[in-house]
Amino acid sequence: MRIFALGPSRTLGATVAAALGRELDPCEEQDFEDGEHRIRPLVSVRGEDTFVLASLGGEGASFLHDQLVRLLFFLATCRDNGAARVTAVVPYLCYARMDRQTKRRDPVSFRYVAQLLEAAGCDRVVTLDVHDLAAFQNAFRCETVHLEARSLLAARIPALAAGHPVTVFSPDAGGVKRAELLRRTVEAATGAAVGFGFMEKHRHDGAISGSLFAGEVAGSAVFLIDDMISTGGTIIRAAEACRERGAAAVIAMVTHGLFAPGSERLPGDGLLDRLLVTDSLPAATRRAGKGVEIVPVSGLLGEVIARLHNGEPLGDLAALED
Protein backbone atom coordinates (compact mmCIF):
# COMPACT_ATOMS: atom_id res chain seq x y z
CA MET A 1 0.00 0.00 0.00
CA ARG A 2 1.09 3.56 -0.77
CA ILE A 3 -0.29 6.72 0.87
CA PHE A 4 0.46 10.17 -0.55
CA ALA A 5 -0.82 13.61 0.41
CA LEU A 6 -0.54 16.70 -1.79
CA GLY A 7 0.14 20.35 -1.07
CA PRO A 8 -1.33 21.80 2.14
CA SER A 9 -3.09 18.48 2.79
CA ARG A 10 0.23 16.94 3.78
CA THR A 11 -0.31 17.98 7.40
CA LEU A 12 -3.60 16.09 7.56
CA GLY A 13 -2.08 13.27 5.51
CA ALA A 14 0.74 12.85 8.01
CA THR A 15 -1.73 12.39 10.88
CA VAL A 16 -3.76 9.91 8.80
CA ALA A 17 -0.61 7.93 8.05
CA ALA A 18 0.35 8.04 11.75
CA ALA A 19 -3.07 6.60 12.61
CA LEU A 20 -2.08 3.68 10.39
CA GLY A 21 1.28 3.33 12.14
CA ARG A 22 3.32 4.53 9.17
CA GLU A 23 4.64 7.63 7.40
CA LEU A 24 3.46 9.25 4.19
CA ASP A 25 5.13 8.03 1.04
CA PRO A 26 7.29 10.76 -0.53
CA CYS A 27 6.29 12.73 -3.60
CA GLU A 28 7.72 15.69 -5.47
CA GLU A 29 5.84 18.88 -6.33
CA GLN A 30 7.97 21.19 -8.45
CA ASP A 31 6.81 24.58 -9.75
CA PHE A 32 8.26 26.19 -12.88
CA GLU A 33 8.61 29.86 -13.74
CA ASP A 34 5.98 29.70 -16.49
CA GLY A 35 3.27 28.49 -14.09
CA GLU A 36 3.48 24.82 -15.01
CA HIS A 37 4.42 22.18 -12.46
CA ARG A 38 5.57 18.60 -12.14
CA ILE A 39 4.20 16.22 -9.55
CA ARG A 40 5.29 12.61 -9.14
CA PRO A 41 5.70 9.84 -6.57
CA LEU A 42 9.28 9.28 -5.40
CA VAL A 43 8.72 5.58 -4.74
CA SER A 44 7.43 2.85 -7.03
CA VAL A 45 3.65 2.42 -7.18
CA ARG A 46 3.68 -0.55 -9.54
CA GLY A 47 1.23 -3.17 -8.30
CA GLU A 48 0.42 -1.06 -5.23
CA ASP A 49 -2.95 -0.17 -3.70
CA THR A 50 -2.46 3.61 -3.86
CA PHE A 51 -4.26 6.26 -1.80
CA VAL A 52 -3.89 9.98 -2.59
CA LEU A 53 -5.20 12.53 -0.07
CA ALA A 54 -5.99 16.08 -1.15
CA SER A 55 -8.71 18.34 0.26
CA LEU A 56 -9.97 20.70 -2.43
CA GLY A 57 -11.19 24.04 -1.10
CA GLY A 58 -10.90 26.84 1.39
CA GLU A 59 -8.06 28.86 -0.14
CA GLY A 60 -9.56 30.86 -3.01
CA ALA A 61 -10.36 30.14 -6.65
CA SER A 62 -6.89 30.14 -8.21
CA PHE A 63 -5.49 27.96 -5.45
CA LEU A 64 -8.44 25.55 -5.63
CA HIS A 65 -8.12 25.03 -9.35
CA ASP A 66 -4.36 24.58 -9.10
CA GLN A 67 -4.84 21.90 -6.43
CA LEU A 68 -7.50 20.15 -8.51
CA VAL A 69 -5.18 19.96 -11.52
CA ARG A 70 -2.32 18.70 -9.34
CA LEU A 71 -4.54 15.95 -7.96
CA LEU A 72 -5.66 14.95 -11.45
CA PHE A 73 -2.08 14.83 -12.75
CA PHE A 74 -0.89 12.82 -9.76
CA LEU A 75 -3.70 10.28 -10.03
CA ALA A 76 -2.96 9.84 -13.74
CA THR A 77 0.77 9.52 -13.03
CA CYS A 78 0.12 6.74 -10.53
CA ARG A 79 -2.07 4.97 -13.07
CA ASP A 80 0.52 5.37 -15.82
CA ASN A 81 3.18 3.90 -13.55
CA GLY A 82 1.32 0.71 -12.86
CA ALA A 83 -0.62 1.29 -9.64
CA ALA A 84 -2.97 -1.65 -9.09
CA ARG A 85 -5.72 0.60 -7.76
CA VAL A 86 -5.92 4.38 -7.27
CA THR A 87 -8.15 5.91 -4.58
CA ALA A 88 -8.64 9.67 -4.22
CA VAL A 89 -9.27 10.59 -0.59
CA VAL A 90 -10.82 14.05 -0.84
CA PRO A 91 -12.22 15.09 2.57
CA TYR A 92 -13.66 18.28 1.07
CA LEU A 93 -14.72 17.87 -2.54
CA CYS A 94 -15.01 21.11 -4.49
CA TYR A 95 -18.09 22.18 -6.48
CA ALA A 96 -20.36 19.84 -4.50
CA ARG A 97 -22.98 22.60 -4.24
CA MET A 98 -23.13 22.96 -8.03
CA ASP A 99 -24.89 19.64 -8.55
CA ARG A 100 -27.90 20.78 -10.60
CA GLN A 101 -29.18 23.60 -12.75
CA THR A 102 -31.06 26.32 -10.87
CA LYS A 103 -30.88 28.97 -13.60
CA ARG A 104 -30.91 28.73 -17.37
CA ARG A 105 -27.69 27.39 -18.85
CA ASP A 106 -26.14 26.72 -15.44
CA PRO A 107 -23.15 24.35 -15.45
CA VAL A 108 -23.45 21.13 -13.46
CA SER A 109 -19.88 21.56 -12.26
CA PHE A 110 -19.94 18.74 -9.73
CA ARG A 111 -20.57 16.20 -12.48
CA TYR A 112 -17.71 17.67 -14.51
CA VAL A 113 -15.32 17.26 -11.56
CA ALA A 114 -16.43 13.63 -11.26
CA GLN A 115 -15.75 13.06 -14.94
CA LEU A 116 -12.27 14.59 -14.61
CA LEU A 117 -11.37 12.34 -11.69
CA GLU A 118 -12.56 9.26 -13.55
CA ALA A 119 -10.73 10.30 -16.73
CA ALA A 120 -7.52 10.59 -14.68
CA GLY A 121 -7.83 6.91 -13.80
CA CYS A 122 -9.40 7.12 -10.35
CA ASP A 123 -10.91 3.81 -9.22
CA ARG A 124 -12.55 5.11 -6.07
CA VAL A 125 -13.37 8.44 -4.39
CA VAL A 126 -13.62 8.83 -0.61
CA THR A 127 -15.09 12.02 0.81
CA LEU A 128 -16.48 13.40 4.06
CA ASP A 129 -19.91 14.98 4.59
CA VAL A 130 -20.53 15.98 1.01
CA HIS A 131 -23.20 18.65 0.52
CA ASP A 132 -25.73 16.30 -1.10
CA LEU A 133 -25.17 12.56 -0.79
CA ALA A 134 -27.51 11.59 -3.65
CA ALA A 135 -25.81 14.04 -6.01
CA PHE A 136 -22.39 12.66 -5.03
CA GLN A 137 -23.37 9.06 -5.59
CA ASN A 138 -25.08 9.82 -8.89
CA ALA A 139 -22.28 12.00 -10.29
CA PHE A 140 -19.67 9.23 -10.24
CA ARG A 141 -19.49 5.97 -12.15
CA CYS A 142 -16.52 4.70 -10.16
CA GLU A 143 -16.85 3.44 -6.58
CA THR A 144 -17.70 6.09 -3.99
CA VAL A 145 -17.33 6.07 -0.20
CA HIS A 146 -19.10 8.73 1.84
CA LEU A 147 -18.03 9.27 5.44
CA GLU A 148 -19.72 11.34 8.14
CA ALA A 149 -18.22 13.31 11.02
CA ARG A 150 -21.47 12.92 12.94
CA SER A 151 -20.18 10.50 15.57
CA LEU A 152 -17.07 12.64 16.16
CA LEU A 153 -19.18 15.74 16.75
CA ALA A 154 -21.85 13.93 18.78
CA ALA A 155 -19.21 12.71 21.24
CA ARG A 156 -18.51 16.33 22.24
CA ILE A 157 -22.13 17.30 22.93
CA PRO A 158 -22.70 15.95 26.48
CA ALA A 159 -19.70 17.85 27.89
CA LEU A 160 -20.47 21.06 26.00
CA ALA A 161 -24.12 21.00 27.09
CA ALA A 162 -22.91 21.47 30.70
CA GLY A 163 -26.05 19.99 32.19
CA HIS A 164 -28.54 21.94 30.05
CA PRO A 165 -31.19 20.19 27.94
CA VAL A 166 -29.87 19.61 24.42
CA THR A 167 -31.46 20.82 21.19
CA VAL A 168 -29.99 19.99 17.79
CA PHE A 169 -30.80 22.73 15.29
CA SER A 170 -30.42 23.10 11.53
CA PRO A 171 -29.78 26.67 10.31
CA ASP A 172 -31.75 25.95 7.13
CA ALA A 173 -34.37 23.52 5.91
CA GLY A 174 -31.87 21.80 3.60
CA GLY A 175 -29.96 20.49 6.61
CA VAL A 176 -32.95 19.04 8.47
CA LYS A 177 -32.03 15.42 7.72
CA ARG A 178 -28.43 15.99 8.84
CA ALA A 179 -29.65 17.52 12.12
CA GLU A 180 -32.19 14.76 12.71
CA LEU A 181 -29.51 12.08 12.29
CA LEU A 182 -27.30 13.88 14.80
CA ARG A 183 -30.23 14.14 17.21
CA ARG A 184 -30.81 10.38 17.00
CA THR A 185 -27.13 9.67 17.51
CA VAL A 186 -26.98 11.81 20.66
CA GLU A 187 -30.19 10.29 22.04
CA ALA A 188 -28.89 6.76 21.45
CA ALA A 189 -25.58 7.56 23.14
CA THR A 190 -26.97 9.41 26.18
CA GLY A 191 -30.42 7.90 26.67
CA ALA A 192 -31.80 11.41 27.21
CA ALA A 193 -34.39 13.19 25.08
CA VAL A 194 -32.91 15.66 22.60
CA GLY A 195 -34.88 18.55 21.13
CA PHE A 196 -34.94 19.50 17.47
CA GLY A 197 -35.48 22.65 15.43
CA PHE A 198 -34.70 24.44 12.18
CA MET A 199 -34.95 27.80 10.45
CA GLU A 200 -36.26 28.79 7.06
CA LYS A 201 -33.67 30.23 4.71
CA HIS A 202 -33.97 31.45 1.14
CA ARG A 203 -31.07 32.82 -0.88
CA HIS A 204 -31.69 35.06 -3.90
CA ASP A 205 -29.06 37.20 -5.63
CA GLY A 206 -26.83 36.95 -2.58
CA ALA A 207 -29.51 38.04 -0.10
CA ILE A 208 -30.79 35.68 2.63
CA SER A 209 -34.40 35.79 3.78
CA GLY A 210 -36.97 33.66 5.62
CA SER A 211 -38.59 34.08 9.02
CA LEU A 212 -39.95 30.64 9.98
CA PHE A 213 -38.43 29.29 13.21
CA ALA A 214 -39.44 25.80 14.32
CA GLY A 215 -38.54 24.31 17.69
CA GLU A 216 -38.25 25.21 21.37
CA VAL A 217 -34.82 26.40 22.44
CA ALA A 218 -35.44 28.37 25.66
CA GLY A 219 -33.11 27.19 28.41
CA SER A 220 -31.40 24.66 26.11
CA ALA A 221 -27.87 24.21 24.89
CA VAL A 222 -28.46 24.56 21.16
CA PHE A 223 -26.12 22.80 18.74
CA LEU A 224 -26.22 24.28 15.24
CA ILE A 225 -25.13 21.62 12.76
CA ASP A 226 -24.05 22.23 9.15
CA ASP A 227 -21.78 20.61 6.58
CA MET A 228 -19.66 23.71 5.98
CA ILE A 229 -19.03 27.27 7.06
CA SER A 230 -17.87 29.88 4.56
CA THR A 231 -18.53 33.50 5.55
CA GLY A 232 -20.56 32.35 8.55
CA GLY A 233 -23.66 34.36 7.69
CA THR A 234 -26.05 31.40 7.92
CA ILE A 235 -24.68 30.26 11.30
CA ILE A 236 -24.69 33.77 12.77
CA ARG A 237 -28.27 34.35 11.61
CA ALA A 238 -29.41 31.12 13.30
CA ALA A 239 -27.42 31.90 16.47
CA GLU A 240 -29.07 35.32 16.76
CA ALA A 241 -32.53 33.77 16.40
CA CYS A 242 -31.78 31.14 19.07
CA ARG A 243 -30.42 33.76 21.48
CA GLU A 244 -33.51 35.92 20.99
CA ARG A 245 -35.65 32.93 21.99
CA GLY A 246 -33.80 32.25 25.21
CA ALA A 247 -31.16 29.64 24.38
CA ALA A 248 -28.85 29.06 27.35
CA ALA A 249 -25.89 28.33 25.06
CA VAL A 250 -25.30 28.17 21.31
CA ILE A 251 -22.57 25.96 19.87
CA ALA A 252 -21.96 25.57 16.14
CA MET A 253 -20.68 22.26 14.78
CA VAL A 254 -19.57 22.07 11.14
CA THR A 255 -17.51 19.56 9.19
CA HIS A 256 -15.69 21.79 6.71
CA GLY A 257 -14.22 25.16 7.66
CA LEU A 258 -13.81 27.13 4.43
CA PHE A 259 -13.53 30.44 6.31
CA ALA A 260 -13.87 32.71 3.30
CA PRO A 261 -13.38 36.50 3.56
CA GLY A 262 -16.08 37.85 5.86
CA SER A 263 -15.72 35.05 8.41
CA GLU A 264 -13.23 36.98 10.53
CA ARG A 265 -15.91 37.89 13.08
CA LEU A 266 -16.53 34.24 13.98
CA PRO A 267 -17.33 32.85 16.49
CA GLY A 268 -19.55 35.93 16.48
CA ASP A 269 -18.88 38.35 19.31
CA GLY A 270 -20.53 36.21 21.98
CA LEU A 271 -23.32 34.84 19.80
CA LEU A 272 -21.58 31.47 19.72
CA ASP A 273 -20.20 29.96 22.88
CA ARG A 274 -18.00 27.77 20.72
CA LEU A 275 -17.45 26.75 17.11
CA LEU A 276 -16.38 23.15 16.45
CA VAL A 277 -14.92 22.32 13.04
CA THR A 278 -12.95 19.34 11.76
CA ASP A 279 -9.45 19.59 10.32
CA SER A 280 -10.64 18.49 6.86
CA LEU A 281 -9.26 21.77 5.45
CA PRO A 282 -6.07 23.67 6.30
CA ALA A 283 -8.07 26.90 6.64
CA ALA A 284 -9.82 25.43 9.68
CA THR A 285 -6.68 24.48 11.58
CA ARG A 286 -5.37 28.04 11.26
CA ARG A 287 -8.45 29.28 13.13
CA ALA A 288 -7.90 27.09 16.20
CA GLY A 289 -8.28 28.95 19.51
CA LYS A 290 -10.41 31.95 20.52
CA GLY A 291 -13.59 29.89 20.65
CA VAL A 292 -12.77 27.66 17.67
CA GLU A 293 -12.13 23.99 18.51
CA ILE A 294 -10.68 21.53 16.01
CA VAL A 295 -12.10 17.99 15.83
CA PRO A 296 -9.55 15.61 14.21
CA VAL A 297 -10.70 13.29 11.41
CA SER A 298 -7.41 11.44 10.96
CA GLY A 299 -8.57 8.40 12.94
CA LEU A 300 -11.71 8.06 10.81
CA LEU A 301 -9.82 8.46 7.52
CA GLY A 302 -7.08 6.09 8.64
CA GLU A 303 -9.59 3.43 9.63
CA VAL A 304 -11.45 3.60 6.33
CA ILE A 305 -8.19 3.40 4.35
CA ALA A 306 -7.16 0.32 6.33
CA ARG A 307 -10.52 -1.36 5.76
CA LEU A 308 -10.55 -0.56 2.05
CA HIS A 309 -7.06 -1.94 1.64
CA ASN A 310 -7.96 -5.12 3.53
CA GLY A 311 -11.35 -5.57 1.85
CA GLU A 312 -13.27 -5.19 5.11
CA PRO A 313 -16.86 -3.87 5.51
CA LEU A 314 -17.41 -0.12 5.90
CA GLY A 315 -21.03 -0.06 7.04
CA ASP A 316 -20.55 1.50 10.46
CA LEU A 317 -17.98 4.04 9.21
CA ALA A 318 -20.06 5.05 6.20
CA ALA A 319 -23.25 5.33 8.31
CA LEU A 320 -24.95 2.59 6.27
CA GLU A 321 -27.50 0.13 7.57
CA ASP A 322 -27.86 -3.57 6.72
What would the DSSP string read from start to end of 171-189?
A: SSGGGHHHHHHHHHHHHHH
Q: Could you say which DSSP state residue 216 is in? A: -
Q: How far is CA 71 from the centre of its chain?
A: 17
Q: Which residues contact 222 (CB under 8 A, 6 or more apart)?
A: 167, 169, 197, 242, 247, 249, 250, 251
Question: In the annotation, is 290 catalytic?
Answer: no
Biggest CA pair distance of the chain: 61
**Contact (CB, 8 A) for 237 and 182:** no
Which pairs count as long-range contacts for 266-269, CB under 8 Å and 24+ apart, including other chains? 266/229, 266/232, 266/235, 266/236, 266/291, 266/292, 267/291, 267/292, 268/232, 268/235, 268/236, 268/239
Q: Which residues of 222-246 are buried (b: 16+ CB within 10 A; e: fewer)?
A: bbbbbbbbbbbebbbbbbebbbeee
Q: Which residues contact 321 (CB under 8 A, 6 or more apart)?
A: 315
Question: Known catalytic residues?
Answer: 201
